[in-house]
Homo-oligomer: A and B are copies of this chain.
């Protein structure tokens, strides 16, 4: 037994360790456009970067991603899921790094105050990105694909909406995600048929003359729907 263990340890010792980073694609919706939150890197004035950090010895990957997200946004209960591990030997020119990318969906406007000043964070339209560090552009692209895919199959879109929202607002989100223009009437019917929305007695004022009813997500049903779908879908 001890012999075997020693043999194993030797096997392990021969291997090269690498730094493991986490990068988060933080997506938000401002009412018109799908946005991604980027931070400024000291390296180059014109290079932006995803929010990232290093994996610490006592952390799981999920936990590390949550910690890093919290450091920037001050938010804790955020939709966050692992996207993909990136490990090109030259992706980081300084040293070999494997980065596990996560994507987060947050409700913009809910609480911008939590945004840490330390990182000089800024929202960018996902269709007009600045020059990005390393393979971060690739990561964002993949995150968008995943979002599009998932939003079509599960009620993930609500994660990007505020607590109260109108159907026309929700349609705008889907239009932005798919970069298209859904039929107002069919969209409304389809969304309501999920039974996940609760109609409130309050109408939106100031935008349109008639005013649209506010809705909120039926958290219980949403939970169930997410679970039944998530157990079926990967992750």
Residues of A in contact with B (beta carbons under 8 Å apart): 4-5, 7-9, 12, 15-20, 42-43, 54-61, 64, 82-89, 94-96, 98, 100, 142, 145-146, 148-150, 231-235
Contact = CB atoms under 8 A, between A and B. Distances in A.
A234 B54 CA distance: 25
Contacts of A85: 61, 82, 85, 100
How many copies of this chain does one complex carry? 2
Q: Is the interface of A mostly helix, strand, loop or mixed?
A: mixed
A89 B233 contact: no
A133 to B, nearest CB: 12
What 3 A-B pairs are tightest by C-beta distance, nearest first? A17-B17, A61-B87, A146-B234
Nearest to A98: B20
22 contacts: A5-B94, A7-B42, A8-B42, A12-B19, A15-B19, A16-B54, A17-B17, A17-B19, A20-B20, A20-B87, A55-B98, A58-B89, A59-B87, A61-B85, A61-B87, A64-B87, A83-B234, A87-B100, A98-B98, A145-B235, A146-B234, A149-B234
Contact of A89 (B60, B82, B100, B231): B60
Contact of A82 (B12, B60, B84): B84
Given A16-B19, A98-B100, A142-B234, 15 more contacts: A4-B42, A12-B95, A15-B19, A15-B54, A16-B57, A17-B18, A20-B87, A20-B98, A59-B87, A61-B86, A61-B98, A64-B87, A84-B234, A87-B100, A145-B233
